[in-house]
Amino acid sequence: MSTDAIVLLKVDHKEIKAAFKQFQDAGDRAFSAKGKAREKIIELLTVHTYLENEVMYPEVRGLLPDLTDEILESYEEHHVADLLAVELAVLAPDAERFTAKTTVLIENVSHHIEEEEEDWFPKVRERLGRRQLAEIGERLLEAREKAPHSPAQPSALKKSIDAVLR
Ligand SMILES: [Fe+2]
Ligand SMILES: [Fe+2]
């Protein structure tokens, strides 16, 4: 299996987008299905943003400092997603704002994923060697072992607090 960092992160993106589709395909009043899709979305996003915040972004920033603006913007986009995820985690699926909040989360994250995949990951691919991307990928796989799965876990909260204070 490839340990190329960009390949691994794109696999995550695919899974996240599949969970978005699961939500969007659920009927308007299919509250149980929408609630389940919400759980899946939040779990996948919590793991994925942790991996990018803890490994991918700092590694890339260190190696390619001229991508700092893109990376700082990405941290902020993760932070917005974290806030929405925390709010969404406690909403009942039949609450008035549930679908609206989930839709805004989906729109924000879809835009963010598109920027990563179309805009700055290609620059990273162009400028880092295969070996460097494989090494970052190894570290992503290690970090996945200890990644939080819920926004209420301390390591997920720490990541949100760091995003505000750093
Ligand atoms: Fe990201
Ligand atoms: Fe990503």
62-114: pLDDT as tens digits? 999 999 999 999 999 999 999 999 999 999 999 999 999 999 999 999 999 99
**Span between the terminal Cα atoms of the chain, in Å:** 35
| Whole-number pLDDT of residue 163 | 61
For residue 28, the CA-to-ligand 1 centroid distance in Å is: 29
Q: Helix 5-25 vs helix 31-51: angle between axes, to the nearest 10 degrees?
A: 160
**Smallest-distance ligand from the CA of 75:** 1
Helix, strand or coil for residue 152?
coil
For residue 151, the CA-to-ligand 2 centroid distance in Å is: 17
Backbone angles phi, psi at 17, to 5 degrees: -65, -35
For residue 147, the CA-to-ligand 1 centroid distance in Å is: 15
For residue 29, the CA-to-ligand 2 centroid distance in Å is: 30
Please indicate, yes or no, whether the overall pTM of this predicted structure exceeds 0.75.
Answer: yes
